[in-house]
Amino acid sequence: GDSVTQMEGPVTLSEEAFLTINCTYTATGYPSLFWYVQYPGEGLQLLLKATKADDKGSNKGFEATYRKETTSFHLEKGSVQVSDSAVYFCALSKTSYDKVIFGPGTSLSVIP
Amino acid sequence: DTGVSQDPRHKITKRGQNVTFRCDPISEHNRLYWYRQTLGQGPEFLTYFQNEAQLEKSRLLSDRFSAERPKGSFSTLEIQRTEQGDSAMYLCASSLGNPGQGARGQPQHFGDGTRLSIL
């Protein structure tokens, strides 16, 4: 069945470091791809999305490009801040009603 | 925009008891979803409503679980005869979408969840 795999955490980075969180997916057809973020004590928020191959989603300095040839949607940010500390979930959706399939999440801690 | 509201935020109960959670979606959203999230895992889909119609139920939703959305607005999720394995965060989400729109509809907005602990 459809699934999402992402790099295991936790990931610890110093402030202003470069961030990459790897995500690959397994799905038939052409799913939409998402990154959701869960800050401590808060609910899930959509960070960015891409709906077709080669699309780049971006928000708050984060970017991810939909790569169909490698079935990947890696999350990147050039310079992380302490406020980026959160759990990041890669996800896909392909049904007519947008049921979302999530990866296991990657915890990020950014230290000053 | 008041967001998706879930009640209660926390529920502690003894094994074997029944519990009910409520979700109030964003007012104009016609789609409503329930997910379950266990510690260290991503959310898992449980069920989906388009207006008042429940259109899909995951195999995770055993016969002890029932969800309703009687007037196409708020929804309830009831768990009967709770078990230890039911301990999790139960998340509700809503979105606006039309039939045939495919997986290109509006993004889902999540509530803060109800954390269930079974003693």
- A41 Cα to chain B: minimum distance (Å): 8
B28-78 pLDDT, tens digit per residue, is 899 999 999 998 899 999 999 999 999 999 988 899 999 999 988 999 999
- Has residue B102 got a pLDDT over 60? no
Q: What are phi and psi of A83, to 5 degrees?
A: -70, -10
Size of interface A-B (CB pairs under 8 A): 69
Chain B contacts in chain A segment 35-94 (CB below 8 A): 36, 42-46, 49, 51, 89, 91, 93-94
Report the b/e string of B32-65 with b at 16+ CB within 10 A.
bbbbbbeeeebbbbbbbbbeeebeebbeebeeeb
Residue-level pLDDT at B100? 55
Say if residue B105's pLDDT is above 60. Answer: no
The residue with greater pLDDT, A62 or A7, is A62
- List, for residues A58-70, the tens digit of each pLDDT value: 999 999 999 999 9
pLDDT at site B9: 95
